[in-house]
A and B are shown apart, each in its own frame.
Chain A
Amino acid sequence: MQISGAEIVVRCLQEEGVEFVFGYPGGAVLEIYDAIFKQDSFKHVLVRHEQAAVHAADGYSRSSKKVGVALVTSGPGATNAVTGIATAHMDSIPMVVLSGQVGTPAIGLDAFQEVDMVGITRPCVKHNFLVKDVNELASTIKKAFHIASTGRPGPVVVDIPKDVTQALAEFHYPESVSIRSYIPATKGHPGQIKKAVNLLAEAKRPFVYVGGGAVLGDACNEVRELVDALNLPCTNTLMGLGAYPGSGDRFLGMLGMHGTYEANMAMQYCDVLVAIGARFDDRVISVPSHFLGQAKKIIHIDIDPSSIAKRVKVDIPIVGNVKDVLVEMLAQIHAGQVRPDPDGLAAWWKQIALWRKPNSLWFDQGSEIIKPQFVVQKLYEVTNGEAFVSSDVGQHQMFAAQYYKFDRPKQWLNSGGLGTMGFGLPAAMGAQLANPNATVACVTGEASIQMNIQELSTCKQYHVPVKIVNLNNRYLGMVRQWQEFFYGNRYSESYMDALPDFVKLAEAYGHVGFRIDKPADVEPVLREAFSQKLKERLVFLDFITDQTVNVFPMVGNGKGLNEMDLPPHMSEYESVPHPAANRDYGNLS
């Protein structure tokens, strides 16, 4: 029996086991929406802006093991989705975005709501398709899900002209896909893995650096086994938080521009670095030449060959699925009883203890003004460290990353690569829908939250009880910090004037709001917000925080990882060249 292209779209999504489609209707997708109306196997979530549809699909995917799905109309619907798509692309999030397109006869004629979606999204998708023949619709959607979820994941756009949704065809959903030009790497080269194990056995100052690839590649158990079996110090990137438990003893904290002192120092001064699903980006290692100035051997495991030797030359590249590679590596380690140099390792841990001692994340909550770090610390305590936490972008994002100790992978959702303000609320929405019984918090700022605040309405409609933790310092905090550090305190356009009353705003949308301006109220109000009583409600917590707080440590522009700006209580570490610099660790006693 022949069915319409629109019905084919719906059937494909059913075949893929899709639970939620985040979208917004419009002219070019009316047929698809009509087909959605007639089915009840998946739920459509009507967002208030297409960018939020894509972020919600993204948050849904990040907090589960599933592919996110968004549906938008042609033209402005499609262009509004682009920021969300680029966000997912930078962080390798598996997602399928279906966009409507004007009818095939109208393509190229500047038709109403026409935009070259395939052209516009080409640089920010893993792949995209324009479906011109209804007979290819099902197989294309199958390919889209396959490409999005295999190899290094990423968003795939399927652009569907209106006449294709109206045309009739037999429905046949392929069982499997084989694309001759797309064969993702799986197992790593055993010889390379052997070399890596041998190198680890010689290490005196080993360090494990884990990125988002371990989370996406479901390799966190293997990461933990490797780190614990060999007693290795370890760090997670912003995208890798939760890969190794944040509360673990072997965890030195996040590294990078706002990493801890100990993580950055260990990264700089290790002699054997194991990079797992991480890509040495500029916010992590800053300047490559400086990073490599301290001699070290690097083992780099990644599924994407182009991530290897992109910014940093490595000694032992291993291309493969991180999980499979680590399983093989662990097997060799166990078989050969491989251990790093015990004396070297003991001295290395001793050095790390010295770096840890001053506690680079210490802050003073003595005053009558709420410190943003304090709020995140309390949030961690009140939620027992178990909440899914999304964030927007800026100081609050760094505080969330530094002070919430993520013990599980997929617990932390943030736009790490693209740095998209407005990500937090819709992502939290997606995470809550994927995990209906879980606690979901969105740590945000008064500037970021306003970039997709309209989604408070979506949350009301679908009873999405996320808890919004707004760290309100009336500034674009990170911009203000840079202006303070590098632009002579000229706070150009970084003050957020004329803010709404967020409590009233939350109430206007039918939610609960609290304004908190005393440190003593932080914990009680958090307890109330996360209590059973408000479990079913969205709560907007507007914390009025210190305007002058900066994020420390900070690796400034063009600086090396060991040249951090440190918090005031560590001033002596800044003025004196660090004793660790250029020292042979072999002689440490």
Chain B
Amino acid sequence: MRHILSILIENEAGALSRVVGLFSARGYNIDSLTVSTTEDPTLSRMTIVTHGSDDVVEQITKQLNKLIEVVKVIDLNESEHIEREMMLIKVRATGKDREEMKRMAEIFRGRIIDVTEKTYTVELTGTNDKLNAFIEALDRTVILETVRTGASGIGRGERILKI
């Protein structure tokens, strides 16, 4: 099953490699990983999307907690949460495709953020599924380049991951 792990980790050199090293050393999966500093510059927030049985995910959480620099770990799947991912997708926009691409971007509430005579670059934010749906909706031959950030997640309502 797919799980989204949210990690608060010391913003120190090498901290990221400890997390990544842990996943590869123990044979866990990383589907996506995003990381950046928080409002407190000494802390980074990391979101890792992984998949595995409940036992495996429990063990991943424990192993992450064992890393000295990890301050807190939560499995967002344990309660209501919101997840967003951003994608920049460059598509061919010539001839009849040009109007079609604009329409598709609008349907998915994307924004065209760069325009040339032959291309559009669309910025699209949403859940993993929504971004996949957008890609599915396009003719493969018009897609020139795709860049995705991987999911970021946050708990709903009062649920907060903070020290």
Task: Show the binding face of A for B, using Cβ within 8 Å.
Answer: 118-119, 122-123, 126-127, 130, 147, 179-182, 304-306, 309-310, 313
Task: Show the binding face of B for A, using Cβ within 8 Å.
Answer: 9-10, 13-14, 17-18, 21, 25, 55, 58-59, 62-63, 65-66, 68-71, 163
**In the complex the two chains form, is B58's CB within 8 Å of A181's CB?**
no
**In the complex the two chains form, is B14's CB within 8 Å of A118's CB?**
yes
Residue of B nearest to A143 (CB): B68
Q: Contacting B10 at CB < 8 Å: which of A118, A122, A123, A181?
A: A181
The docked-state distance in angstroms from the alpha carbon of A350 to that of B147 is: 69
The docked-state distance in angstroms from the alpha carbon of A537 to that of B22 is: 46
The docked-state distance in angstroms from the alpha carbon of A579 to that of B128 is: 58
B59 to chain A, nearest CB (A): 6
The docked-state distance in angstroms from the alpha carbon of A118 to that of B69 is: 14
| 25 A-B residue pairs with CB within 8 Å | A118-B14, A119-B17, A122-B21, A123-B21, A123-B25, A126-B68, A127-B68, A130-B14, A147-B68, A180-B163, A181-B9, A181-B68, A181-B69, A181-B70, A182-B68, A305-B62, A305-B66, A306-B59, A306-B62, A306-B63, A306-B65, A306-B66, A309-B59, A310-B59, A313-B55
Q: Contacting A130 at CB < 8 Å: which of B10, B13, B21?
A: B13
Q: Contacting B58 at CB < 8 Å: which of A127, A179, A304, A309?
A: A309
Count of CB-CB pairs between chains A and B under 8 Å: 37
B60 to chain A, nearest CB (A): 10
Residue of A nearest to B58 (CB): A309
The docked-state distance in angstroms from the alpha carbon of A118 to that of B68 is: 14
Residue of A nearest to B14 (CB): A118
Residue of B nearest to A119 (CB): B17
Residue of B nearest to A132 (CB): B13
The docked-state distance in angstroms from the alpha carbon of A181 to that of B10 is: 8
Residues of B near A181 (CB, < 8 A) are 9-10, 68-71
Residues of A near B55 (CB, < 8 A) are 309, 313
Residue of A nearest to B70 (CB): A181
Residues of A near B66 (CB, < 8 A) are 304-306
Indicate the member of A118, A179, A305 with the most B CB atoms within 10 Å: A305
The docked-state distance in angstroms from the alpha carbon of A330 to that of B14 is: 44
Residue of A nearest to B72 (CB): A181
Binding site secondary structure of chain B: helix
Q: Contacting A180 at CB < 8 Å: which of B14, B18, B21, B71?
A: B71
**In the complex the two chains form, is B65's CB within 8 Å of A305's CB?**
yes
Residues of A near B62 (CB, < 8 A) are 305-306
Residues of A near B10 (CB, < 8 A) are 181
Residues of B near A123 (CB, < 8 A) are 21, 25
Residue of A nearest to B9 (CB): A181
Residues of B near A179 (CB, < 8 A) are 68
The docked-state distance in angstroms from the alpha carbon of A304 to that of B163 is: 22
The docked-state distance in angstroms from the alpha carbon of A313 to that of B62 is: 14
The docked-state distance in angstroms from the alpha carbon of A147 to that of B71 is: 15
Residues of A near B14 (CB, < 8 A) are 118, 122, 130
B34 to chain A, nearest CB (A): 20
The docked-state distance in angstroms from the alpha carbon of A179 to that of B9 is: 12
A589 to chain B, nearest CB (A): 41
The 5 A-B residue pairs with the shortest CB-CB distance in the complex, in nearest-first order? A306-B62, A181-B71, A127-B68, A123-B25, A305-B62
A192 to chain B, nearest CB (A): 16
B6 to chain A, nearest CB (A): 15
The docked-state distance in angstroms from the alpha carbon of A371 to that of B156 is: 69
Q: Contacting B18 at CB < 8 Å: which of A122, A147, A306, A309?
A: A122
Residues of A near B13 (CB, < 8 A) are 130
Residue of B nearest to A319 (CB): B62
Residues of A near B25 (CB, < 8 A) are 123
A34 to chain B, nearest CB (A): 29
Residues of B near A306 (CB, < 8 A) are 59, 62-63, 65-66
The docked-state distance in angstroms from the alpha carbon of A130 to that of B17 is: 14
Residue of A nearest to B42 (CB): A180
The docked-state distance in angstroms from the alpha carbon of A95 to that of B66 is: 18
The docked-state distance in angstroms from the alpha carbon of A305 to that of B126 is: 35
The docked-state distance in angstroms from the alpha carbon of A180 to that of B72 is: 10
Residue of B nearest to A123 (CB): B25
The docked-state distance in angstroms from the alpha carbon of A122 to that of B65 is: 16
Residues of A near B65 (CB, < 8 A) are 305-306
